[in-house]
Structure 1
Amino acid sequence: MPNIALELGKQSASFGVKSAYGEQQDIDGIRIVPVAITWSGFGGGSDEVGNGGGGGGGYAIPLGAYIRRGGDLRFEPNIVVFLTVAIPFVWVAGRALSRVIRVLKK
């Protein structure tokens, strides 16, 4: 039986940049390269008897795309993702700031 941890390690070695930057697409002379934040995790183990198991999973959040039109290169963000991340962040930051101010007033 192959070592599950070693097999998962070999497969995850190629995730890196290939998973964060998608394949380049050329559409009507415009070059597009999608960008995402990705992460993954794997685990495995066995007991004294030799029964083993493992599992894993991953997640990707599309951030936007690099777009080249002629000589112009720019990054166009995925606004929905930035709002989804920004709203809870602003709420948590506001709560923390209000508590800091309350402590400093005492």
Structure 2
Amino acid sequence: MTNLVLKLAEQAKNIGVTAAYGEQQDVDGVKFVPVALSYYGFGAGSEGGDDEAAGGGGGGGLAVPVGAYIKTRDGLRFDPNLISLIAVAIPFIWVSGKALSGIIRALKK
């Protein structure tokens, strides 16, 4: 089981930037690089007795496209995917508001 954990850790180390930024694409002479918000998690475990072998593992991930960097004659610009940004921003703003209200309540005491 230890080898499985080491293999997962080695592969996860290389995922970061390649998951957030895709390969450069060229459509009708316009070059762009897709950008995503990505999250990955892995786990493994093993517990066995004298005559028993046990083990398990799993993993999962999520990638939300948030936009693309587009290169034109005028320069480089970021073009957001508004629906994805709103879907990501709403929970973030809600959690930030709850945390801020908790801090304010704690400071008032």
TM-score normalised to the size of structure 1?
0.78
Partner of 1:6: 6
Give identity over the alignment, percent: 55
Map Cα deviations across residues 23-51 of structure 1 (whole Å, 9 max, x no partner). Answer: 10011211010001111111111112321
Cα separation, 2, equivalents of 1:38 and 1:72: 27
Match for 2:29: what amino acid?
A: G
Tell me, what secondary structure is at the counterpart of 2:71? strand
Cα separation, 2, equivalents of 1:8 and 1:70: 42
Partner of 1:28: 28
Match for 1:16: what amino acid?
A: G
* More moved, 8-17 vs 90-99: 90-99
Runs of 4+ in 1 over 2 A off after TM superposition: 85-102
Match for 1:17: what amino acid?
A: V
Instruction: Tell me if the contact between 1:30 and 1:70 (Cα under 8 Å) persists in the aligned partners.
Output: no
| 1:58 pairs with one of 58, 61, 67 | 61
Match for 1:54: what amino acid?
A: G
RMSD over aligned Cα atoms: 2.9
Cα deviation for residue 86 of structure 1 reads 3.3
Tell me, what secondary structure is at the counterpart of 1:8? helix
Cα separation, 2, equivalents of 1:11 and 1:64: 25
* More moved, 86-95 vs 6-15: 86-95
Over 3 Å counting, the alpha-carbon distance change for 1:12 and 1:64 in structure 2 is: same
Q: Which runs of 5+ in 2 are unaligned?
A: none
Cα deviation for residue 89 of structure 1 reads 4.7
Q: Which runs of 5+ in 1 are unaligned?
A: none
